[in-house]
DNA sequence: ACGATTCCTGACTAATTTAGTCAAGTATGA
DNA sequence: TCATACTTGACTAAATTAGTCAGGAATCGT
């Protein structure tokens, strides 16, 4: 049960952006350097973040990325979902009514994992970029 | 952020054991069949579970595994830890005082991930095998 | 106009981790 | 003594992760 670099880097970069940008766009070069992240990797991530509407880009000289919404209204859970690092605790599909072992109802542990997932989702849902920047964490 | 089969199978098997055993040992064959799990894989897992003192084994005919403690006193978090599926949300080592980027203090997101980890740990800590068997889940 | 900067995008790959299998052995009870 | 079942380590195939790389397109300052 570990957090991969994809989700970690995306959140680190977004926090950096929220923290150091003052309206002006920040280049990936700058962010990558400050956070010690591979820049080519960040490019992939910001592509998705832009497509999902979390950041805006300006090209060319003095260009870079800007938050497309207020930092207080971007939840960590949204970032993770946007770049494709979902929380998968249960093994069965939500839609299909067959449990993870293929037969009839849910397995004995389904409720346990579902509860864990709900817990995590709730936590990450309740925290915004602004919260992280201001260290307003429980 | 997904749960692997190692942890999942271990918990499924332990729940099965707690649920269907009535003092008598259950063979891995039986458990594996009922839960649709690969038996050779379970062998590895139960090796560790025995070494850590969660189950007892009886060999030979009519042998199998039995819980070594009461189901109510085995927490899910303990099972996951025993078979080596720890919760790793932060990237930095707990001991060393250097953050995940190598320099000075902790990174901007450390508190966030630590909080997530604490949350998960707390949830899995508060649930015992008995709770799962009796579907006493929030 | 030019050239530096920066985003944009897809394709590709190396390394790691996961999810197992396999084989040989030991202990036990019927 | 034979079938059952645990014991243990070594090995491997597949999937995932964590990136790299290359080429392109837009923009701005000079
Ligand atoms: S995890 Fe949903 S049925 Fe097993
Ligand atoms: S995760 Fe602990 S310092 Fe970054």
Kindly state whether residue A105 falls inside one of the protein's structural domains: no
Cross-chain Cβ contact B1/A111 below 8 Å: no
Query: CATH no. for residue B11?
Result: 1.10.10.10
Total domain count for chain B?
A: 1
Q: Is A106 in the pocket of ligand 1 (CB under 6 A)?
A: yes
Q: CA-nearest residue of chain B to A2?
A: B88
CA of A27 to the centre of ligand 2 (A): 23
Kindly state whether residue A73 falls inside one of the protein's structural domains: yes
The H or E element that residue A64 is part of is strand A64-67
From the CA of A63, how many Å to the C1' of C5? 8
Q: Where are the alpha helices (H) located in chain B, listed in sequence order?
A: 5-20, 28-35, 39-51, 76-82, 110-125, 129-133
Kindly state whether residue A26 falls inside one of the protein's structural domains: yes
pLDDT-above-90 percentage for chain B: 88
Per-residue DSSP letter, B71:
G
Q: Compute the distance between CA of residue B68 and CA of residue B78 in angstroms, rounded to an integer.
A: 13
Across the A:B interface, residue pairs with CB atoms under 8 Å apart total 110
Kindly state whether residue A15 falls inside one of the protein's structural domains: yes
Task: Give Dmax (Cα) for chain A.
Answer: 60
Contact residues on chain A for B74, CB-CB shorter than 8 A = none
Residue B95: predicted pLDDT: 63
Torsion of CA A15, A19, A25, A28, to 10 degrees: -50
Q: Compute the distance between CA of residue B134 and CA of residue B41 in angstroms, rounded to an integer.
A: 27
Tell me the pLDDT tens digit for each residue of B67-98: 999 999 999 999 999 999 999 999 998 666 67
Length of chain A: 138
**Reported confidence tier of residue B105, pLDDT bands at 50, 70, 90:** confident
Mean pLDDT of B4-27: 97
Contact residues on chain B for A2, CB-CB shorter than 8 A = 1, 86-89
- Mutational pocket test of ligand 2: of B94, B103, B104, B106, the residue with most ligand atoms within 8 Å of the beta carbon: B106
* Residue A8 touches chain B, beta carbons under 8 Å: yes
**Reported confidence tier of residue A96, pLDDT bands at 50, 70, 90:** low
Kindly state whether residue A94 falls inside one of the protein's structural domains: no
Q: Supply the mean pLDDT for chain B.
A: 94
Distances (CA, A) of A133 to B89, B99, B109: 18, 17, 9
Kindly state whether residue A60 falls inside one of the protein's structural domains: yes
Residue A126: predicted pLDDT: 97
Q: How far is CA A6 from the centre of its chain?
A: 9
Question: Which residue range forms the structural domain that includes residue A78?
Answer: 5-87+128-133
Asked if residue A54 has pLDDT above 80, the reply is yes
Kindly state whether residue A97 falls inside one of the protein's structural domains: no
Strand partners, B128: B75
Kindly state whether residue B75 falls inside one of the protein's structural domains: yes
């Amino acid at each position: 049960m570990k957090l991969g670099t994809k989700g970690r880097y995306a959140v680190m970069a977004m926090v950096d952006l929220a923290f150091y940008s003052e309206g002006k766009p920040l280049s990936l070069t700058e962010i990558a350097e400050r956070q010690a992240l591979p820049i080519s990797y960040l490019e992939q991530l910001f592509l998705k973040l832009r497509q999902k509407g979390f950041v805006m880009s300006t090209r060319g000289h003095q260009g870079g990325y800007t938050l497309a919404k207020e930092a207080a209204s971007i939840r960590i859970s949204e970032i993770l979902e946007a770049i494709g690092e979902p929380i998968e605790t249960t093994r069965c599909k939500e839609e299909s009514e067959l449990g993870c072992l293929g037969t009839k109802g849910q397995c004995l542990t389904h409720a346990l994992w579902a509860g864990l997932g709900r817990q995590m989702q709730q936590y990450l849902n309740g925290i915004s970029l602004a919260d992280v920047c201001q260290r307003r964490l429980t």
